[in-house]
Chains A and B, each alone.
Chain A
Amino acid sequence: MVPETHPHEIELLEYVEDELPVARRDEIATHVATCSVCAEQVQRAAAGREALRETTLLELPQGRREEILRNLPSPEPAPGGRRGFFSKQLLAGIAALLIVAALAAVLVKSGGNSGIESSAGGTAGAAEATATSGGGGVEDAQAANLFAGGSPDEVADDLQRKGFKATVQKDRVVVHGATKDQVREALADRGPGDVEVVVKNP
């Protein structure tokens, strides 16, 4: 005897996958036992599953991974995320202008060498910025400060865990009381990135 209504194929799949509530599973089992059409469908679905599940994952051919990584283009900046090339350039330009103006003011006021000496000796970090920003390029700015992968918060947390006094200030990480070499070494395991790390060692 063939029952009048067959279960929907979705239920037959769930039956094969053993995903049905017990009561419904038993109803369908009873139906399948007496309906040759559904029995054949269930048998095929199970056989197809077995054939597919015998396959294994395939590995990317040798050398393709390296080729993929080599051919990655420059990323687009994240909206509201990392600072892009133009903002870095703009900041470097503004910094250079401010420093030139400050130096000019000091020269005009003091009219001698003592003011410049005390200024340069008093703030090593600023002196470094003067030298690099005066060069006028992003590359120079990158040479002066360090850059690390991750978000500013992640980089600061990382450095704090390693015993540094690190804080986030305007998307940059500022480290006090350490040398650049010490900070560079501490950041070595983070990989490249564009979080700017400013080292101030009074």
Chain B
Amino acid sequence: MEDPDAPLVERARRGDRWAFERLVERHQSRLFTLAARTLGSADEAADAVQETFIRAWLGLPRFRGGSLFSTWLYRIGVNAAHDQRLKRRTEPLDDTREPADPQNSFHASELSSVLQEALSQLDEDYRVAVVLYDVLGCSYTEIAELTEVAEGTVKSRIFRGRSRLAELLGTRTAEE
């Protein structure tokens, strides 16, 4: 499959910051959505996205193009979000900060929704699988590649993740 990012990636590999900025523009929303939906916090997600792009920038010279650039980037994103989650265990979340602008208020409302609460209760593997498949529209093959498991495992995770999510949403709805 031809990688639509290939020309920019080739330039960015040689240290061209302008080309890398275009790649950041292309992928920032999807990466932020992935991180925000898996972490449930806009601040933590933004930190994870920043870490992802720094790792990608430094790692680009070693990127061989064996997979799509987006697959490689999302793999870094999944790992950065995972690391951010581990960090949270030692550094408690500062949730006293007020959203400073309307966009942040939108994030705050999105990430405190009933759906997000249910999503946060899923096992991390299931959460990552359903967010990649149902929210970002990645294929089974891409998810298998970036989470380093077999396609059958990806399908099981999506099926179980969705079922558990519906169960949690049903419980919440019944409670309200």
Contact = CB atoms under 8 A, between A and B. Distances in A.
Contacts of B5: none
A69 to B, nearest CB: 6
Contacts, number: 165
Interface of B: 10-11, 13-21, 24-25, 28-30, 32-33, 36-37, 42, 45-46, 49-50, 53-54, 57-58, 60-62, 101, 103-104, 107, 110, 115, 130-131, 134-135, 152, 155-156, 158-167, 169-170
Given A10-B155, A61-B107, A48 B162 contact: yes
B103 A81 contact: no
Nearest to B42: A61
Contacts of B135: 52-53, 55, 57
Q: Is the contact region of chain B dominated by helix, strand, or loop, or is it mixed?
A: helix
A103 to B, nearest CB: 34
Q: For the complex of A and B, list the 3 residue pairs with the smallest distance between their C-beta atoms, beginning with the closest.
A: A48-B162, A191-B18, A52-B134
A58 to B, nearest CB: 5
Interface of A: 9-10, 12-14, 16, 41, 43-49, 51-55, 57-62, 64-65, 67-69, 71-73, 75-79, 81-82, 149-151, 154, 191-195
Contacts of B166: 43-45, 47-48, 51
Contacts of A45: 159, 162-163, 166
B16 A149 contact: yes
Contacts of A57: 29-30, 33, 135
B50 A67 contact: yes
Given A59-B29, A72-B54, A44 B14 contact: no
